[in-house]
Amino acid sequence: MSNNSAENIIITRSLIKNFKLDKDTIVKVLTGVNMKIKKGEFVAIMGPSGSGKSTLVNILSTLETITDGDVYIVGSNLKKLTNKEYLEIRRKTSSIVFQNFSLIPYLTALENVKLPMILRGEEDKTATAKAVSFLESVGLYGRMNHLPEQLSGGEQQRVAIARALAHEPKIIYCDEPSGNLDTVTGREIISLFKQLSKEKNITVVMVTHDHEAAKQTDRLYILRNGKLAEEQVSILNKRRSERK
Ligand SMILES: Nc1ncnc2c1ncn2[C@@H]1O[C@H](COP(=O)(O)OP(=O)(O)OP(=O)(O)O)[C@@H](O)[C@H]1O
Ligand SMILES: [Mg+2]
């Protein structure tokens, strides 16, 4: 265990990620990423297209492997975990919200949110009650028995967030969560993440191309040339405090 675990829920040290395309071609995406994220923080990751934002978030959420360096999630060094422990980390700590919502099309909003709880063996009645409360907490009232195609984009993203909450995660990763939404609806979704991080003390790591969305967060990382820089944080925070 890392002695930083209580403070920092995510730590990376000199994180390197290469993709091997064939025996002669290696794509060097992350060339030494250092980051520390505290419990309950809402953090944005920005950077040019192809800079490795999705790759980084996929590594943190254990969907993608590491080439070199260290990643600590809730104090556990991902490199040192057995397969079983690795899956436990994935199941117990994090949830992911994607740009395309990735809801199951033939299940209603309520059923989509219930699914993670049913899969982990919760009783139907309990799962229903919790799913209703998660849907209410994302502001989705009265649409619970609609199929995804019967919901607007913003409503579908709310369902996806409620489903993420159903995992009872310590961390929510979101990769351009407002990328498929209009500006106003996108901003509402970002406000929702902000609220979740503050009220439920959930750590939210969000990839975004939207500067306005990034201003809603506590901190901003910029990914460039395979490394993270934090230089714009103070500027954004200053602007935010001026607005208050
Ligand atoms: N599985 C893979 N195999 C080979 N190369 C990959 C793979 N996944 C990503 N890459 C490469 O890694 C680089 C970073 O990709 P990534 O998807 O992380 O970028 P991104 O910052 O999320 O971009 P965008 O803003 O367009 O979503 C790109 O050059 C991409 O082609
Ligand atoms: Mg991406």
Residue 213's CATH number: 3.40.50.300
From the CA of 138, how far away is ligand 1's center (Å)? 31
In a domain, 17, yes or no: no
Range of the domain at 106: 39-65+82-243
In a domain, 33, yes or no: no
Ligand 2 ion: Cβ-proximal residues, 5 Å cutoff: 54
In a domain, 75, yes or no: no
Ligand 1 neighbourhood includes 69 CB (under 6 angstroms): no
Q: How far is residue 187 from each of residues 83, 136, 182, 190, 194, measured CA to CA in Å?
A: 38, 18, 9, 5, 10
Digit-coded pLDDT (tens) for 130-150: 999 999 988 888 899 999 999
Q: How many domains does the chain have?
A: 1
Ligand 1 neighbourhood includes 19 CB (under 6 angstroms): yes
Ligand nearest to the CA of 48: 1
Report whether 36 contacts 26 (CB < 8 A). no
Digit-coded pLDDT (tens) for 186-221: 888 899 999 999 999 999 999 999 888 899 999 999
Which protein residue's CA is at the shortest distance from atom 25 of ligand 1? 49
From the CA of 19, how far away is ligand 2's center (Å)? 15
Q: Which atom of ligand 1 lies closest to the CA of 27?
A: 5
pTM, whole model, 2 decimals? 0.89
